[in-house]
Each structure stands twice: as structure tokens, then as C-alpha cells.
């Protein structure tokens, strides 16, 4: 779909996949209840408004539980508003592809996280849509909605009043409540150690597609330093961005700080955890100081995004090596080994697909 694989001469493609350009972006008039400014929703609305697609396949909240994603086919632009925001959980997005065809939809847009888009691309040819637009968001980890509720219960005495949650790129979790209150919690103060080891499933902990490499455009925030972060990957992605016209403010993404230290620290902790040892806890008195320092001197902008992609790569290698080593040769693409090599992780015998075999090629 991009006409080429990652170009190792463009260093950032090793991290983020093939792209034409990356941008920092915000809607000039942010959409209410969107996860960030609502670029994802607005692109889909415009596709429907202009009649470029028959339907948009995306997730709406379950009427009984706002955190539970439910797949929906949206055909009216105004109905996209109900889908805004991030919900934690798995839901069978692609199960609505057949119903979409049965209803005679020929031009479709899909909003999906990487694992959904990966499966979609594998099916794309046989689905036979005349036109397919793929708006992807990054995804670091997902879990069941039930598990996510357990996490919310650790954050508040009244978890049912939490209406929004985001792991921001400035090392804080932002929590919003139904009454309009807002709370920022530094990552270091999160009750992560109270979560069970399998809070995130092995599939997420070994996912090598954080940035949704197979989407036409990826709409995230990680490299955006407080704004959104767009990765325009192909001609169709350009077309989607063009739809926004003056509604979107664009600028060059920034990059600051150095990722090597935090990634090394992360690796040491994952090694301890994978070996069944407790995480090396930082003394409580030091947490607020480091929490204050990280947004100021830690990796920021694209460097933050590179750090997170490297951390995911480290997790992939260490967790697979410990739990299902026989899967490594098929599940670890060559570029992931390039990402972890600077941290001393190299493939052992049998861990890498043979040169020239299809499985060794990165998307």
C-alpha cells in the first residue's frame, strides 16, 4: 500500500515505518469529547460530508459502559460525534466488513488500531471494495475493558466518574471527571506495580507495530509535544490530510533530549520483571523530583516517540525470549533487531528468520 518498505537511509522510517511526511497538528477548533483535538473524527466526517465514502467503520461506546468499544458502521457525518474519544478494550471491528458489503457499500473508511489494520490489509484484496481509506491511530497496549476498570479503581475512589484518560507525552496521565474536574498524575506516581503481570496480554507486550505502519495516515500524539502527530504515509494519506484544509494547523515536529538513558533503564526493569523479580522501585522521596525533571530534560517530541518504539521493541524481544522463544523467528521483523542492537540485544541462534525468507521482511 505504500509501494515500498522502510528505507533504512531515512533513519526515522526504521522507527515509524514508511512515510512521506510527519507533522505536528491541531484542529483550529478542537472537537468536544475528542481524545485530542479530534483530527481522526473530522477526517471521517469530511469523507462522509463530501460523499467520498458510503460508510465509516469505527468504534462507538457501549451504551451501558462508556469504556467498552463496540464496532459501528457510520453513514451520516453527524453520527461520528458519538465515536469520539479513546476506549480501552478489544472489539471485533472487522466483523462488520461483511455486513458492509451486504449493505452494498463499495467505498469505505476505517479507523483502527494497528492489529485491526494489519488484519484488514491481509483481507483487503478479497474484500473487493472500490475504495478503502485507512485512518490509523498508534497503540501502545490494550487490555480488556474489565481490566481497565480495575486500573480506574486504583486511580479514584469513584472510578465510575472518570470520563477521560490519556497517557500524555509529557510523562503525565490526564484524568477527567464527569463534573469537569481534571487531574494530572506523573507516570512515576501511577499504581503500576499494583497491576497484575498479565494486565496487558502477551500479544500487546510483543507487538511490533506501535505506529500503525500499514495505515494511509496515522493520527497520534506521541511525537506531538502536546499537540497531535500525523504520519502521512502515501498518496491516499495526503488526500485525507488535504480534506482538512484550513481547519488544521500544521508545523514541523520538534525533537529534544536523549532517549538512550530512559530506554536502558526500561530494559533493566523489563529484564527483572521477565525474570520474576520485583521492579527496582525508586525511593518515594525521589519520585516527585524525577517526575518534575522528566518533562523538562527527558526525551521530547520525536525523540519521545523513538524512545517508546524502542521500549516496545525491547519488550518484544525479552518477553518472547522468556515465554515463547520458538515464535521469535516469525514474530520479530529485521528492523526490530536494528532498534534493540544499540542496547546489547542481538539475535541468538534460531531467533531470527533466515535471510531471504518472507518472514524476515518488515512491512
Nearer to ligand FAD, 165 or 188 (CB): 165
Stretch that binds ligand FAD, among 85-93, 122-130, 157-165, 270-278 (CB under 6 A): 85-93
State which of residues 18, 46, 57, 85 lies at the interface with ligand FAD (CB under 6 A).
85
Does residue 220 belong to the site contacting ligand FAD (CB under 6 A)? Answer: yes
Distance from chain centroid for Cα 146: 20
Give least dist CB 363 to ligand FAD, A.
19
Q: Select from 17, 112, 39 the least CA-distant residue to 69.
A: 112
Q: Select from 108, 104, 126 the least CA-distant residue to 71.
A: 108
Does residue 301 belong to the site contacting ligand FAD (CB under 6 A)? Answer: no
Number of residues engaging ligand FAD in binding (CB under 6 A)? 31
- CB contact set of 160 (below 8 Å; sequence gap of 6+): none
Does residue 68 belong to the site contacting ligand FAD (CB under 6 A)? Answer: no
Does residue 295 belong to the site contacting ligand FAD (CB under 6 A)? Answer: no
**CA gap 158, 156 in Å, rounded:** 5
Give least dist CB 50 to ligand FAD, A.
18
CA dihedral 200, 202, 208, 213 (to 10 degrees): -60
Does residue 352 belong to the site contacting ligand FAD (CB under 6 A)? Answer: no
State which of residues 16, 53, 100, 112 lies at the interface with ligand FAD (CB under 6 A).
112
Nearer to ligand FAD, 113 or 294 (CB): 113
Does residue 109 belong to the site contacting ligand FAD (CB under 6 A)? Answer: no
Which residues, 130 to 159, sit near ligand FAD by CB under 6 A? 137-140, 142
Do 223 and 304 form a contact (C-beta atoms < 8 A)?
Answer: yes
- 240 half-sphere exposure, CB direction, 13 A CA radius: 31
**CA gap 280, 265 in Å, rounded:** 10
Does residue 237 belong to the site contacting ligand FAD (CB under 6 A)? Answer: no
Do 312 and 213 form a contact (C-beta atoms < 8 A)?
Answer: no
Work out whether the CA dihedral 202, 207, 210, 215 comes out positive or negative: negative
Stretch that binds ligand FAD, among 83-91, 125-133, 178-186, 351-359 (CB under 6 A): 83-91
State which of residues 17, 22, 25, 41 lies at the interface with ligand FAD (CB under 6 A).
41
Give least dist CB 339 to ligand FAD, A.
16
Give least dist CB 229 to ligand FAD, A.
6
Q: In the β-sheet with 21-27, what is the strand arrangement from edge to edge? A: 65-74, 55-62, 107-112, 131-136, 217-220, 228-232, 21-27, 248-251
State which of residues 18, 89, 299, 347 lies at the interface with ligand FAD (CB under 6 A).
89
State which of residues 59, 217, 302, 311 lies at the interface with ligand FAD (CB under 6 A).
59
Stretch that binds ligand FAD, among 3-11, 81-89, 244-252, 354-362 (CB under 6 A): 81-89
Does residue 204 belong to the site contacting ligand FAD (CB under 6 A)? Answer: no
What residues pair up with 219 in beta bridges, in sequence order? 230
Kindly report the three-state secondary structure assignment for every residue of 299-363. Answer: CEEHHHHHHHHHHHHHHHHHHHHHHCHHHHHHHCCHHHHHHHHHHCCCCCCCCCCCCCCHHHCCC
Nearer to ligand FAD, 139 or 273 (CB): 139
Nearer to ligand FAD, 171 or 347 (CB): 171
Under DSSP, the state recorded for 275 is T
Binding site for ligand FAD (CB under 6 A): 34-41, 58-59, 69, 83-89, 111-113, 137-140, 142, 219-222, 228
Amino acid at each position: 500500500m505504500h509501494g515500498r518498505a522502510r528505507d533504512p537511509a531515512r533513519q526515522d522510517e526504521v522507527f515509524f515505518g514508511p512515510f512521506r511526511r510527519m507533522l505536528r497538528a491541531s484542529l483550529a477548533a478542537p472537537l468536544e469529547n475528542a481524545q485530542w483535538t479530534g483530527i481522526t473524527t473530522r477526517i471521517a466526517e469530511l469523507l462522509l460530508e463530501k460523499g467520498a465514502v458510503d460508510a465509516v467503520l469505527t468504534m462507538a461506546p457501549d451504551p451501558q459502559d462508556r469504556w467498552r468499544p463496540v464496532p459501528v458502521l457510520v453513514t451520516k457525518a453527524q453520527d461520528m460525534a458519538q465515536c469520539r474519544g479513546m476506549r480501552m478494550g478489544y472489539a471485533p471491528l472487522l466483523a462488520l466488513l461483511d455486513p458492509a458489503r451486504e449493505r452494498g457499500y463499495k467505498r469505505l473508511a476505517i479507523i483502527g488500531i494497528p492489529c485491526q489494520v494489519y488484519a484488514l490489509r491481509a483481507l483487503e484484496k478479497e474484500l473487493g471494495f472500490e475504495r478503502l481509506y485507512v485512518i490509523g491511530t498508534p497503540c501502545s497496549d490494550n487490555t480488556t475493558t474489565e481490566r481497565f476498570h480495575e486500573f480506574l479503581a486504583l486511580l479514584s475512589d469513584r472510578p465510575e466518574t472518570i470520563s477521560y484518560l490519556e497517557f500524555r507525552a509529557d510523562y503525565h496521565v490526564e484524568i477527567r471527571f464527569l463534573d469537569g474536574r481534571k487531574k494530572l498524575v506523573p507516570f512515576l506516581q501511577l499504581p503500576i506495580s499494583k497491576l497484575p503481570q498479565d494486565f496487558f496480554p502477551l500479544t500487546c507486550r510483543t507487538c511490533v507495530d506501535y505506529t500503525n505502519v500499514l495505515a494511509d495516515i496515522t493520527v497520534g500524539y506521541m511525537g506531538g509535544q502536546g499537540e497531535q502527530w500525523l504520519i502521512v504515509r502515501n498518496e491516499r494519506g495526503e488526500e485525507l490530510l488535504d480534506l482538512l484544509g484550513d481547519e488544521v494547523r500544521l508545523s514541523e515536529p520538534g525533537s529534544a533530549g536523549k532517549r538512550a538513558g530512559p530506554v536502558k533503564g526500561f530494559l533493566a526493569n523489563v529484564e527483572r520483571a521477565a525474570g520474576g523479580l520485583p521492579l527496582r522501585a525508586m525511593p518515594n522521596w525521589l519520585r516527585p523530583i524525577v517526575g518534575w525533571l522528566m518533562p523538562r530534560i527527558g526525551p521530547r517530541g520525536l525523540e519521545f516517540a523513538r524512545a517508546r518504539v524502542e521500549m516496545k521493541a525491547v519488550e518484544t524481544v525479552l518477553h518472547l525470549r522468556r515465554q515463547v522463544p520458538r515464535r521469535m523467528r516469525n514474530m520479530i521483523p529485521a528492523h526490530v533487531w536494528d532498534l534493540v542492537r544499540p542496547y546489547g540485544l542481538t539475535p541468538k541462534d534460531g531467533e531470527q528468520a533466515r535471510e531471504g525468507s518472507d518472514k524476515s521482511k518488515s512491512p
